[in-house]
């Protein structure tokens, strides 16, 4: 109980870092929930919505523009601010994650493409490339930061 009343020993940079990560998570959560709700509400009457609908169903124009603005303006502003407050250790961890993600996509996408052209794999989907990129970056970042 006394921990609640003690002064926070983290520096201003670490507090700003954690606040920006929390804001980023909240923005992502709101965007994801909004996407799910719009997908459910856009499902034709009598059909059961599926998780695939979130990726493939058409979006209302106003919502598509709103999501594009959030992703193309708000998220970069949060990211830019985060890069300004982060310490050298976390910056290196992030850089290493981004580099690993680059190699996963830079090597993996052409390999998949060749195998698709040879009839071995289905067509490459951009959603899975994005998931691979983000997962690789996040895993390497956490490993470099916390291990």
Can you give the pLDDT at residue 52?
62
| % of the chain with per-residue pLDDT over 70 | 85
pLDDT digits (tens, 9 = 90+) for 13-67: 888 888 998 999 999 999 999 988 887 787 666 666 666 666 777 888 999 999 9
Q: What is the pTM of this model?
A: 0.74
97-144: per-residue pLDDT in tens?
Answer: 999 999 999 999 999 999 999 999 999 999 899 999 999 999 999 999
Q: What's the CA gap between 101 and 145, in Å, rounded?
A: 16
Better-scored residue on pLDDT, 27 or 1: 27
Domain ranges of the chain: 10-86, 87-147
């Amino acid at each position: 109980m006394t921990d609640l009343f003690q002064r926070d020993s983290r520096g201003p940079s670490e507090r700003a870092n954690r606040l920006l990560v929390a804001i980023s998570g909240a923005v992502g959560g709101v965007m994801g929930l909004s996407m799910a709700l719009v997908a459910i509400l856009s499902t034709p009457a009598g059909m059961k919505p599926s998780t695939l609908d979130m990726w493939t169903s058409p979006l209302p124009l106003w919502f598509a523009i709103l999501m594009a603005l959030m992703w193309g303006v708000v998220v970069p502003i949060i990211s830019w601010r985060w890069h300004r407050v982060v310490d050298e250790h976390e910056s290196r961890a992030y850089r290493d994650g981004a580099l690993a993600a680059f190699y996963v996509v830079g090597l993996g996408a052409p390999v998949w493409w060749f195998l698709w052209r040879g009839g071995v794999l289905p067509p490459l989907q951009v959603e899975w490339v994005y998931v691979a990129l983000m997962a690789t970056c996040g895993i390497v970042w956490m490993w470099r930061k916390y291990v």
